[in-house]
């Protein structure tokens, strides 16, 4: 059995800023880290799906990781994405990331090649053996094409002390309950969708690995804190106010919507790498209309 891993309550899956040539803007990344640290983020996830990790080269990933780690000045935890549908590649990323003295790794179930549960188990077993860093599993069937079952998660959590948590992006609450029943008590759960944070808290989740925390970090933290202190109505009211925005931030493939808002606020440029595209003017109007109706001052 491992230990209860605590990455905080709000982990931001940070976007990767690009310039107009769609090169990584490391200066803007450093500024964004400092902004997030002052806006409720307890940890920052580097080069995940929201960070357009699939379009980054390995060299860009590592330089971005180094930039983020330096910008935090050890005042915020840093988690590196070590995901691949090639087990050896995921292990290589884990080993290289270790050099930056990071706090943990996040790794998604292998995508596209659709392994069965035994294949998923062997993939994460190899990753766990390749590093002593804490590993957060990531289950998102809508993107990977495979669903990591609670029995598989529990087996991994029991056999490997450094497999310490899961990011669950699947709205089946019965599966969350099964994980809570089967996994060790010290195994941590994180919501992988902002809209699932409140219901998952009721099933013992620690917090959320969030996209919306780029924009509403303190408000999301208030949902979690209020729930944990028994202020359930306050938590529900904030959830209800933010729920339309949570949904609208996925009106187009992530992270185009959140990048558009961050660009509108002058924090980064809105550019995404192909095959993603930036929001149209109509999409921006729809997004900002929902955000303006959020009524957080009520």
- Does the annotation mark 271 as catalytic? no
Q: How many domains does the chain have?
A: 1
99 lies in some domain: yes
Torsion of CA 59, 64, 67, 71, to 10 degrees: -160
CA-closest candidate to residue 11, choices 249, 296, 210:
210
Answer whether residue 4 shows pLDDT above 70.
no
269 lies in some domain: no
- Check which CATH number belongs to the domain holding 80 and give it: 3.20.20.70
Could you tell me the pLDDT band of residue 6, with boundaries at 50, 70 and 90? confident
Q: Cis peptide leading into 275, omega within 30 of 0?
A: yes
255 lies in some domain: no
- Does the annotation mark 3 as catalytic? no
Give the number of other Cβ atoms within 10 Å of residue 118's Cβ. 9
Task: Note the pLDDT tens digit of each residue in 152-201.
Answer: 999 999 999 999 999 999 999 999 999 999 999 999 999 999 999 999 99
Give the 3-state secondary structure percentages of the chain, helix then strand then coil, rounded to 5: 50, 15, 40
Domain extent, residue 134, equals 10-229
Answer whether residue 295 shows pLDDT above 90.
no
244 lies in some domain: no
2 lies in some domain: no
275 lies in some domain: no
112 lies in some domain: yes
93 lies in some domain: yes
Of the chain, the percentage scoring pLDDT greater than 90 comes to 95
Give Cβ neighbours of residue 217 (< 8 Å, ≥ 6 apart). 10, 12, 36, 39, 40, 41, 210
Between CA 262 and CA 269 the distance in angstroms is 8
Which of 167, 221, 248, 284 is the catalytic position?
Answer: 167
Spatial contact of 144 and 111, defined as CB atoms under 8 Å apart: yes
Helix (H) or strand (E) holding 40: none
Give the number of other Cβ atoms within 10 Å of residue 67's Cβ. 18
Task: Note the pLDDT tens digit of each residue in 21-68.
Answer: 999 999 999 999 999 999 999 999 999 999 999 999 999 999 999 999
CA-closest candidate to residue 64, choices 110, 33, 104:
33
Which of 138, 190, 216, 271 is the catalytic position?
Answer: 138
Q: Mean pLDDT over all residues of the chain?
A: 95
pTM for the structure as a whole: 0.95
């Amino acid at each position: 059995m491992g230990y209860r891993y605590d990455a905080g309550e709000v982990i931001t899956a940070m976007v990767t800023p690009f310039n107009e040539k769609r090169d990584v803007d490391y200066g803007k990344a450093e500024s964004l880290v400092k902004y997030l640290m002052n806006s409720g983020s307890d940890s920052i996830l580097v080069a995940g799906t929201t960070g357009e990790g699939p379009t980054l080269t390995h060299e860009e990933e590592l330089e971005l990781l180094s930039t983020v780690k330096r910008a935090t000045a050890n005042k915020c935890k840093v988690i590196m994405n070590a995901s691949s549908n090639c087990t050896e590649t995921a292990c290589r990323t884990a080993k290289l990331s270790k050099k930056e003295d990071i706090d943990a790794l996040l790794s998604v179930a292998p995508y596209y090649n659709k392994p069965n549960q035994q294949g998923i188990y062997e993939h994460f077993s190899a990753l766990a053996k390749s590093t002593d860093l804490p590993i957060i599993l990531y289950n998102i069937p809508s993107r990977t094409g495979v669903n990591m079952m609670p029995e598989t998660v529990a087996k991994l959590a029991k056999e490997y002390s450094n497999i310490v948590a899961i990011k669950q992006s699947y709205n089946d609450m019965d599966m969350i309950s099964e994980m809570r029943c089967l996994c060790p008590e010290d195994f941590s759960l994180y919501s992988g969708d902002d809209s699932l944070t409140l219901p998952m808290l009721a099933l013992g989740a620690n917090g959320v690995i969030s996209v919306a925390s780029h924009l509403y970090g303190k408000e999301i933290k208030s949902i979690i804190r209020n729930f944990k202190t028994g202020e359930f109505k306050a938590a529900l009211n904030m959830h209800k106010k933010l729920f339309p925005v949570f949904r609208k931030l996925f009106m187009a493939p992530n992270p185009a919507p959140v990048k558009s808002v961050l660009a509108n606020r002058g924090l980064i440029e809105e550019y995404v790498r192909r095959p993603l595209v930036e929001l149209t003017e109509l999409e921006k109007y729809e997004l900002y209309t929902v955000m303006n109706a959020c009524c957080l001052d009520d």
